[in-house]
Amino acid sequence: MNFLQFNDQAFIAESFNMDEDFTFQSARLAYFKINSYRMAQVNAGFNTAREELRNSIENSLLNYVDPDLVLITTGYFDQETEN
């Protein structure tokens, strides 16, 4: 008797598409923030917006993440490694 096995290719593909879409949207948002900041640097009329944009860029785009934290979050150390 042959037993049915779960085929998770569709789940993997959908997960990849969601991650890819999130990365694309994040990159697009970063691009818009940087272009807005450039425009504020050129035009003197954006003095108040310049400081807000600088704070926004520093708080959202220039955050340093320790590599150990990324590995712990993804569960790298929970799995056994094979050589």
Look up the domain containing 79 and give its range.
Answer: 46-83
Q: Is the pTM of this model over 0.85?
A: no
Domain count, the chain: 1
**Model confidence over 2-36: pLDDT tens digits?**
776 677 888 888 888 999 999 899 888 888 888 88
Evaluate whether 26 touches 33 at the Cβ level (below 8 Å). Answer: no
Cα atoms in the 13 Å half-sphere on the side-chain side of 25: 6
Q: Contact, 58 vs 34, CB < 8 A?
A: no
CA distance 41 to 48: 11
* CB count in 10 Å sphere of residue 53: 19
**Is 67 inside any structural domain?**
yes
Distance CA 46, CA 24 (A): 28
